[in-house]
Amino acid sequence: MDRDAAADAKDQETGSLVPGSRVHPDPSVLAKRVDDEIVLVHLETNRIYELNRTAAFLWDALAAGSTQAELEQRLALEFDVDPEQLAREIDELLGQFMSERLIRTE
């Protein structure tokens, strides 16, 4: 494995995103909308997650295969929040999704 591939593999394991990479839901995750929320079921781990309205909006945007910058733009249009705070919160949420293997990057 070359150095860049090794670094990308490490990023996948630690939950960090490579700037500009596209983020998608993991194919092993089923999503079901319930009112304003989304329930996720990871078929490999049998873990269940409940996403609130804001996280559900982000999850819907992930289905299109968005970059983190595109996610920030979409959420900024939907929610009245400071752009720096929004970027931090999206970064944190994507990191949690990565650590739980709910999303993949390309």
Quick: pLDDT tens for 79-104.
999 999 999 999 999 999 999 999 99
Mean pLDDT of 50-70: 92
pLDDT of residue 106: 84
pLDDT of residue 16: 59
pLDDT over threshold 90, residue 8: no
Q: Residue 12: in which H helix or E strand, if any?
A: helix 3-14
Q: Which residues contact 18 (CB under 8 A, 6 or more apart)?
A: 8, 11, 105
In 3D space, the residue among 44, 52, 46, 48 whose CA is nearest the CA of residue 104 turns out to be 44
Instruction: Write down all domains in the chain, each with its CATH number in brackets.
Output: 21-102 (3.90.930)
Q: Residue 98: in which H helix or E strand, if any?
A: helix 83-99
| % of the chain residues with pLDDT over 70 | 85
pLDDT over threshold 80, residue 22: yes
Mean pLDDT of 61-85: 92
